[in-house]
C-alpha cells in the first residue's frame, strides 16, 4: 500500500475492511490482469496479406484502384440499399455532404454533445452550427428541440450517432423534410445504422458519413465513406475531393475541385475490405459482450446504460454508461465519475472518459457564441458519463466477467465510504 495514502485512512484502517475490499487503487491485486485484454484494432498477421495485395497490385493510390472499387461494392452489398464512395476520412465525408447541401441554408442544426470532428466541417463548409441538447438515454440529438429550430435559413440537420447507438429520431427527420432541410447522419461510430434498422426499414436520410479509421469498426487506418441514394451527391464526391485524378482513370484536373484531395488510402481500403468479410461476426460479438456485461452490472445502484439494451441492431463500438453521483452521496459535478473511473482503471478495466466539454468549447471560432448552461442534459452527461472500451472480439465472455467483477469491487467501496473515497483516491 502507498504510504502517503495511508495517512488519510483513519476511517479505513481496520484489517477486515482492507481484506474485504482489496481495491487495486489501494495496493490490492488488479482484477483484470495486464495483457488479458486485446485492444482494438486487434491486429492480426492476416492484415499483412491485405497490405501485400496492394503492394502486389503495383499501384499505391488512385480512386479507381480495383481494391477501392471492390470495397465500395462490398459495402453497398452489405448495407443493401445505398451507393458508397470511399474518401480520405469520416471528417472528409461529412464535409463533402455538407458542401453538397449548403445551398439549402447556412444553418446546420446539431447536438451540443458531439464529436468536434463531426462539427468542424460545418465551419469548413462556410456554414454555422445551431446547437440543441441531447436526450439522457442514447446521447442523441433531442428531436423535439431540433424540430423547433427548423425554419428559414436551416439547410441541414446533422444527426450524430455515438458509441454504436442508433439515433432513429423519426420526428426530427420528418420535421426536417417538411421544412426543406437535408438530413445527414454521422454514423462514424455506428456502422450498423447503414442497414435496415427501423423495423426492417432504412433510416430516412439524405446522406450518411462513415469512418474507417483505426478506432472504428473497420479498423483500417485512415478512411471514410460517403453513403447515399443521391446520384448527384455521388458525382459531387469527385468534384470536391479529387484534384488530379478521376474515377474513369483520366489524369484530369477537375474544373470545380476545391482541392481537398480526399482520396481513400488504398492500404486502408484493403484492410477494410478484409474486415468487412467478418463484420457481421464482429458486430454480433460486440453486442453479445455488451449484453453479458450489462446483465452482470445492471443491478448496481446509481449506474445507467447510455445505450438501449433492447436494441438488437446497435453497433456497440464502446459500452457507454453514466452514474448518478447523488446515489453515492456526491454532488452533481464530475468528481464522482472521475473517482469511479480511476478506481476501475486501477482494477485494469479499460474505462475511459471521452469528452468533458460541449462541442463548441473545443472549436475556438464559435466557442464564445454558446453557453454550456443552456444545454442541461449535455452538461449532466459530460459530468457523469464514461465508457468501457475493448468489448470487441477476440475479447470474450470471460473478459466481460472480469470487467463486471471490477465494477462490483468498486461499487462496494463506493457504498461503504461514499464521497470520502475520493479523499483516498486523490492523494494516491
Nearest to 104 by CA among 51, 158, 64: 158
Binding of residue 269 to ligand PLP (CB under 6 A): no
Nearest to 423 by CA among 3, 1, 9, 2: 9
Given candidates 30, 41, 90, 325, which one binds ligand PLP under the rule CB under 6 A? 90
d(Cα 191, Cα 183) in Å, to the nearest integer? 17
Nearest to 358 by CA among 372, 345, 369, 347: 372
Given candidates 125, 143, 165, 211, which one binds ligand PLP under the rule CB under 6 A? 211
d(Cα 178, Cα 86) in Å, to the nearest integer? 30
Nearer to ligand PLP, 88 or 348 (CB): 88
Secondary structure (3-state) at 387: strand
Contact pattern from residue 183 through residue 202 relative to ligand PLP, giving x for each residue in contact according to CB under 6 A and a dash for the rest: ---x-xx-------------
Binding of residue 378 to ligand PLP (CB under 6 A): no
Rounded least distance, CB 412 to ligand PLP, Å? 34
Residues in 228-267 that interact with ligand PLP by CB under 6 A: none
Q: Which of these ranges, 1-9, 114-122, 166-174, 372-380, lies near ligand PLP under the rule CB under 6 A?
A: 114-122
Secondary structure (3-state) at 374: helix
Nearer to ligand PLP, 189 or 246 (CB): 189
Rounded least distance, CB 210 to ligand PLP, Å? 8
Look up residue 81 and give its DSSP letter.
S
Nearest to 192 by CA among 265, 284, 308: 284
d(Cα 254, Cα 153) in Å, to the nearest integer? 30
Nearer to ligand PLP, 311 or 405 (CB): 311
Rounded least distance, CB 18 to ligand PLP, Å? 41
In degrees and rounded to multiples of 5, residue 267 shows phi and psi of -65, -45
Residue number, nearest CB to ligand PLP? 90
Residue 102 is a catalytic residue: no
Nearer to ligand PLP, 97 or 186 (CB): 186
Nearer to ligand PLP, 101 or 115 (CB): 115
Residues in 398-417 that interact with ligand PLP by CB under 6 A: none
Secondary structure (3-state) at 17: helix
Rounded least distance, CB 93 to ligand PLP, Å? 8
Rounded least distance, CB 94 to ligand PLP, Å? 6
Cα distances (Å, whole numbers) of residue 33 to 42, 67, 217, 345: 18, 40, 25, 12
Contact pattern from residue 35 through residue 54 relative to ligand PLP, giving x for each residue in contact according to CB under 6 A and a dash for the rest: --------------------
Nearer to ligand PLP, 116 or 305 (CB): 116
Binding of residue 118 to ligand PLP (CB under 6 A): yes
d(Cα 31, Cα 169) in Å, to the nearest integer? 40
d(Cα 83, Cα 75) in Å, to the nearest integer? 9
- Helix locations, 22-133, DSSP H: 47-57, 66-79, 90-101, 116-124
d(Cα 340, Cα 337) in Å, to the nearest integer? 5
Q: Which listed residue (195, 216, 273, 342) is catalytic?
A: 216
Positions in the binding site for ligand PLP (CB under 6 A): 89-91, 115, 117-118, 160, 186, 188-189, 211, 213, 224
Amino acid at each position: 500500500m502507498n504510504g502517503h495514502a495511508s495517512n488519510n485512512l483513519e476511517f479505513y484502517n481496520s484489517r477486515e475492511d482492507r481484506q474485504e475490499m482489496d481495491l487495486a487503487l489501494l495496493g490490492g491485486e488488479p482484477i483484470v490482469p495486464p495483457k488479458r485484454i486485446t485492444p482494438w484494432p486487434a491486429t492480426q498477421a492476416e492484415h499483412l496479406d491485405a497490405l501485400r495485395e496492394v503492394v502486389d497490385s503495383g499501384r499505391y493510390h488512385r480512386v479507381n484502384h480495383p481494391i477501392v472499387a471492390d470495397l465500395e461494392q462490398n459495402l453497398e452489398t452489405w448495407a443493401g440499399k445505398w451507393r458508397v464512395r470511399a474518401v480520405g476520412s469520416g471528417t472528409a465525408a461529412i464535409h463533402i455532404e455538407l458542401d453538397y447541401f449548403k445551398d439549402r441554408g447556412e444553418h446546420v442544426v446539431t447536438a451540443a454533445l458531439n464529436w468536434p470532428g463531426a462539427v468542424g466541417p460545418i465551419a469548413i463548409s462556410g456554414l454555422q452550427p445551431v446547437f440543441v441538447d441531447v436526450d439522457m438515454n442514447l446521447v442523441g440529438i433531442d428531436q423535439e428541440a431540433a424540430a423547433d429550430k427548423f425554419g428559414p435559413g436551416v439547410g441541414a440537420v446533422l444527426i450524430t450517432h455515438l458509441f454504436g447507438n442508433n439515433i432513429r429520431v423519426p420526428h426530427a427527420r420528418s420535421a426536417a423534410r417538411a421544412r426543406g432541410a437535408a438530413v445527414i447522419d454521422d454514423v462514424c461510430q455506428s456502422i450498423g445504422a447503414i442497414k435496415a434498422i427501423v423495423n426492417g426499414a432504412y433510416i430516412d436520410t439524405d446522406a450518411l458519413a462513415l469512418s474507417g479509421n483505426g478506432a472504428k469498426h473497420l479498423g483500417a487506418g485512415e478512411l471514410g465513406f460517403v453513403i447515399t441514394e443521391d446520384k448527384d451527391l455521388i458525382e459531387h464526391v469527385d468534384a470536391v475531393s479529387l484534384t488530379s485524378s478521376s474515377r474513369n482513370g483520366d489524369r484530369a484536373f477537375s474544373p470545380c475541385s476545391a482541392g481537398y484531395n480526399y482520396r481513400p488510402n488504398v492500404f486502408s481500403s484493403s484492410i477494410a475490405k478484409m474486415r468487412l468479410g467478418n463484420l457481421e461476426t464482429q458486430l454480433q460479438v460486440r453486442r453479445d459482450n455488451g449484453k453479458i456485461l450489462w446483465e452482470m452490472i445492471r443491478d448496481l445502484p446509481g449506474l445507467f446504460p447510455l445505450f438501449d439494451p433492447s436494441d438488437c441492431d446497435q453497433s456497440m463500438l464502446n459500452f457507454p454508461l453514466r452514474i448518478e453521483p447523488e446515489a453515492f452521496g456526491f454532488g452533481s459535478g464530475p468528481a464522482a465519475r472521475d473517482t469511479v473511473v480511476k478506481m476501475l482503471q486501477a482494477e485494469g478495466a479499460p474505462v475511459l472518459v471521452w469528452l468533458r466539454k460541449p462541442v463548441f468549447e473545443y472549436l475556438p471560432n464559435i466557442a464564445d457564441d454558446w453557453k454550456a448552461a443552456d444545454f442541461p442534459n449535455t452538461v449532466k452527461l459530460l459530468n457523469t458519463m464514461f465508457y468501457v472500451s475493448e468489448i470487441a472480439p477476440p475479447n470474450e465472455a470471460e473478459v466481460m466477467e472480469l470487467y463486471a467483477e471490477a465494477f462490483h469491487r468498486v461499487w462496494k467501496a463506493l457504498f461503504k465510504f461514499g464521497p470520502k473515497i475520493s479523499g483516498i483516491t486523490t492523494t494516491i
